[in-house]
Structure 1
Amino acid sequence: MTAADFYPTDVASFKRILDNLNKVVHVEHRLPLWPFRAPTGIVDICQYSHAIEGSFEPVLQALAAAHDDTTVSFAAMEPDPHYYRENYGSYPAFVLPAKSIGGRYWDAVSFEPIGDPTGSVAYTANVAALVGSSGRWAVWAERSWDIALVLSQHRDGAWTSAGVEFVSVENALANFTEPDFKTPLEENQRTSFIERFRRRGSGA
């Protein structure tokens, strides 16, 4: 398997994938800002690690099936994508056929360009997003918050019972973002996050 199987090596191909994401998410936003272009929706929250592990494959399968997607696009925004290109010869992005996402997603995120694990997005990506070709759902994941947000317009979709635990906003902050070994959030960050995702992420 080579980088060309997953990761583009030229900037034009990378920008095409980024354009897919930009239609659904604000790639420049960071939490506690609302990262989605849809003004409201249903947001399901899980731990960051799930979004970049094989355990997320059933979630993506269910999302793609429910929205009739043909492809699923992924890109990492941090570290700087050009850092990956300079050091590993490719950009941290890929597009997979929706019908095979269940068997290839982990291969894609865990792939080690030029045989170097530090180039694998599973181990090094700090901010990443996924979107389906339908444009009706997205996943936003940030390592520093240790959470991933799944936005759709459906409550209790099949992806919420696909083997990954989804929790409330309060539980996510208490159990993922703010354990003792993490740097505590500033109160204004915590308040802003809870208010924003209650108001915009509960289907209002």
Structure 2
Amino acid sequence: MTHFAADEAAFNELKEQVHGTLHIGRRLPEWPFRAPAGYVTVYEYDRVLGLDFGSVLDALARGHDDDSVVVLGLEPTPAYYRDEYGFLPGLQFDRGVIVEGFAAGLSHEPDDDPTGRLGDTLDVVAIAGSSGAWGIWGQRDWEIGLLLTPEERGAWLETGVPWFDRDVDLDSIRSPAGWGTTLSAADREEFARQLRERGGGP
């Protein structure tokens, strides 16, 4: 089943689960993962919010024996979704329905209002499995999502959802200059350092 957080207490429970894997208060170029190192895979941000990304989450869950997967929207704030649309951007998918649940959750239109779709509106998203073995961090301003796993390769890379190695040139997958958020040279250097020192394996 797919479960939106019913109230703030339930949302906070999901937040605690994700917080065991990700530093939800951090933002790129800071290292968002609690694991000091692992293997990073890079996705375009829109791919992370794409309805077919559930196949990646399903493969991760199967590969790490997760009972469930949590998707947590961090920006806009949970209060924004609560006040504007009457729901909270925290979802939990039980094992076995992750593909369908993710697609349904990200495409949900509260009261038939498409402006509340998480797949279109989330600017920062954190995703983690119940095993705590892997995590995904996505930021719209950077236009990327990062997956950290303890293994360099796995079935999640074979789902058909495009991905990139950690040494990808960000300019090749981000919007042209003038269309997206400009990243400073210092931010780019810090991001590259984090990936170099922490993203190439334990």
When normalised by structure 1's length, the TM-score is: 0.93
The offset of 1:89, in angstroms, is 1.1
Query: Matches of 2:198 and 2:164 in 1, distance apart?
Result: 16
1:140-177 deviation digits (Å, cap 9, x = unpaired): 11111111111110011111121112113443511233
What letter matches 1:195 in structure 2? Answer: R
Q: Distance in 2 between matches of 1:15 and 1:172?
A: 36
Deviations 1:125-149 (A, max 9, x none): 0000110010101111111111111
Query: Counterparts of 2:175 and 2:120 in 1: how far apart (Å)?
Result: 21
Alignment of 1:1-204 (within 5 A): 6-177=3-174, 179-180=176-177, 181-204=179-202
Q: Is the 8 A contact 1:14 1:91 kept in 2?
A: yes
SS at match of 2:200: coil
**Does the 8 Å contact 1:46/1:172 carry over to 2?**
no
Q: Is the 8 A contact 1:52 1:109 kept in 2?
A: yes
Percentage identity across aligned positions? 36
How far is the alpha carbon of 1:15 from its aligned partner?
0.4
> Deviation of residue 119 (structure 1)?
1.4
Across the aligned residues of Structure 1 and Structure 2, the Cα RMSD in angstroms comes to 1.6
- Assess if the C-alpha contact under 8 Å between 2:133 and 2:149 holds in 1: yes
Deviation of 1:97 (Å): 0.6
The more displaced of 71-80 and 159-168 is 159-168
Deviations 1:33-53, CA, capped at 9 Å, x for gaps: 000000101110011111111
Structure 2 residue matching 1:20: 3-state secondary structure: helix
Indicate the SS of the match to 2:148: strand
Change (3 A) 1:126 1:30: same
Partners of 2:141 and 2:181 within 8 A in 1: no
Determine helix, strand or coil for the equivalent of 1:188. helix
Larger fraction in helix: 1
Give the superposition deviation at 1:103: 1.9
- Which sections of structure 2, spanning at least 5 residues, go unmatched? none
- For the 8 Å contact 1:178–1:185, the answer to whether it is kept is no
Q: Is the 8 A contact 1:111 1:120 kept in 2?
A: yes
Task: Assess if the C-alpha contact under 8 Å between 2:40 and 2:166 holds in 1.
Answer: no
TM-score, length-scaled by structure 2: 0.94
Deviations 1:55-107 (CA, angstroms, capped at 9, x unpaired):
21221111000000110001100001111111111110111112110222111
Q: Following the alignment from structure 1 to structure 2, what is the Cα–Cα distance between the partners of residues 14 and 201? A: 30
SS of residue paired to 1:177: coil
- Tell me by how many angstroms 1:8 deviates: 2.1
For 1:13 and 1:170, how far apart are their aligned partners in 2? 38
